[in-house]
Amino acid sequence: MTRALVTGAGGFVGQHLCARLVGEGWEVWGTVRPGAPAPAGVHPLPVDLTAPYEVPDVDVAFHLAAARSKATTADRIGTASVNALSGLHLVEALPASCRAVVRVGSSTEYAEVDGPMGEDAPLRPRGFFGATKAAGSLLLTAAAAERGIRSAVLRAFQVYGAYDKPTRFVPTVLRAAASGEVLPLTAPGLRRDWVHVDDVVQACLLAAAADALPAGQVLNIGTGVQTANEELVALAAEVTGRGIRTSVGAHAGRSWDASSWVADPALARVLLGWEPRLDLRAGLARTWAAT
């Protein structure tokens, strides 16, 4: 039986990854916030990710834990501690027998560029969150190299799917479809590359199993297709069969929003054999069915 550790097991992607691992017969430990339940079938590991800790004897580690708060000085320090330092503490705690550590990074680690982003796109983060994620990716990769543990960084683009945080865009759109409430929308033309959480989980598993993958390899996990916010709303209306009322321009958007934000996922195809299996229509339909 393969043994795995998942940090951020109670988060959006973490829950989906843990369910997949448990369903396939893995023995799984997951870091969770003290007092929070672990996903079904997962051994809880309630630890402080920003300080040294001990882990069981695992074969593979998946580093998904992340923080986003930045409203206050304390928030920013806490977010930086989790996003930048927790990977270092994880790698230092891993047994020498651990064959791989897979980090889920973020496309916000890249600079804004016009057109598809390859892994050689400038590492010039779009905002505070992206900066902390970039720092964490670099530290984890360097620490893993020092210990002789193969690492991989999967820079995920805009992940969506069932059981996401209700404040995020796709859940908000689908809630407006269900309730008839007016949806505050950004100005037209802001685009993202939407990748379904099940496809991200598949990439994690492939990266963990790819023993021939070069150490420290960075791979973009996106569809190669970008969709404007208003286009996603229109597609969601078709998928749900519900009219969605919008107030265009009522939402200011995010500081890292851009008119071009799309992955070049060719390297993941070549090195992992990974391709997204769900286009946006199918992914929205699956997410709507789970609501």
Q: What is the pLDDT of residues 166-197, one digit of tens each?
A: 999 999 999 999 999 999 999 999 999 999 99
The reported pLDDT for the residue numbered 126 is 82
Cα dihedral value 275, 124, 127, 233, nearest 10 = -30
Where b means 16+ CB within 10 Å and e means fewer, 207-225 reads bbebeebeebbbbbbbbbb
How far, in Å, CA of 169 to CA of 161, rounded? 11
The two three-digit tokens of residue 14, written as one number: 């973490």
How far, in Å, CA of 224 to CA of 203, rounded? 15
Mean pLDDT of the chain: 96
The reported pLDDT for the residue numbered 36 is 83
How far, in Å, CA of 80 to CA of 178, rounded? 37
Q: What is the pTM of this model?
A: 0.97
The reported pLDDT for the residue numbered 34 is 79
- Residue 5, strand partner residues: 29, 61
CATH architecture observed for domain 3-159+195-221: 3-Layer(aba) Sandwich (3.40)
Domain ranges of the chain: 3-159+195-221, 162-192+225-261+277-289
Q: What is the pLDDT of residues 64-82, one digit of tens each?
A: 999 999 899 999 999 999 9
How far, in Å, CA of 62 to CA of 64, rounded? 6
In degrees, rounded to 5, the angle at the alpha carbon of residue 201 between the alpha carbons of residues 38 and 133 is: 80
Given a cut of 90, whether residue 255 has pLDDT beyond it is: no
Given a cut of 90, whether residue 282 has pLDDT beyond it is: yes
pLDDT band at 256 (very low <50, low <70, confident <90, very high): confident
Given a cut of 90, whether residue 222 has pLDDT beyond it is: yes
CATH class of 162-192+225-261+277-289: alpha beta
Given a cut of 80, whether residue 1 has pLDDT beyond it is: no
Question: Do 55 and 5 touch, CB atoms closer than 8 A?
Answer: yes
pLDDT band at 60 (very low <50, low <70, confident <90, very high): very high
